[in-house]
């Protein structure tokens, strides 16, 4: 299960279809801030509800075509990066 870390704050700008996320206490450098659009925004929406990695891929595969091995690899890398930087937890 992937879920948002309790120390993460995010703001949604529906006009620009953008979500900005940061961690509480993070410095102002690029490592502590993400601006999400497109598929990353869709991922964040699903992750914020709590979702397994396999269900996330299934949902994204229904929303985006093509959604092949290359996209799956990119999504996995992005999730791994979010976990490593403390934005999400995977249990």
- Is there a contact between 19 and 12 (Cβ–Cβ < 8 Å)? yes
Q: Could you tell me if residue 79 is inside a domain?
A: yes
Q: Could you tell me if residue 91 is inside a domain?
A: no
Determine whether 47 is exposed, middle or buried from the number of CB atoms within 10 Å of its CB (0-12, 13-18, 19+): buried
Q: Could you tell me if residue 35 is inside a domain?
A: yes
CA 69 distance to own-chain centroid: 18
Q: Could you tell me if residue 42 is inside a domain?
A: yes
The tens digit of pLDDT for each residue in 16-69 reads 788 889 888 766 555 678 889 999 999 999 999 999 999 999 999 999 988 999
Q: In total, how many domains does the chain have? A: 1
Q: Could you tell me if residue 90 is inside a domain?
A: no
Q: Could you tell me if residue 21 is inside a domain?
A: yes
The tens digit of pLDDT for each residue in 71-82 reads 999 999 999 999
Q: Could you tell me if residue 14 is inside a domain?
A: yes
**Domain extent at residue 72:** 2-85
Q: Could you tell me if residue 81 is inside a domain?
A: yes
pTM for the full predicted model: 0.82
């Amino acid at each position: 299960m992937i879920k948002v870390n309790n120390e993460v704050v995010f703001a949604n700008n529906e006009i620009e279809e953008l979500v900005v996320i940061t961690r509480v206490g993070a410095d102002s450098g690029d490592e502590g801030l993400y601006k999400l659009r497109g598929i990353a925004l869709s991922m964040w929406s699903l992750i914020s509800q709590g979702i397994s990695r396999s269900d996330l891929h299934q949902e994204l595969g229904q929303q985006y075509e093509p959604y092949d091995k290359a996209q799956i690899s990119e999504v996995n890398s992005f999730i791994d990066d979010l976990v490593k930087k403390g934005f999400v937890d995977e249990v």
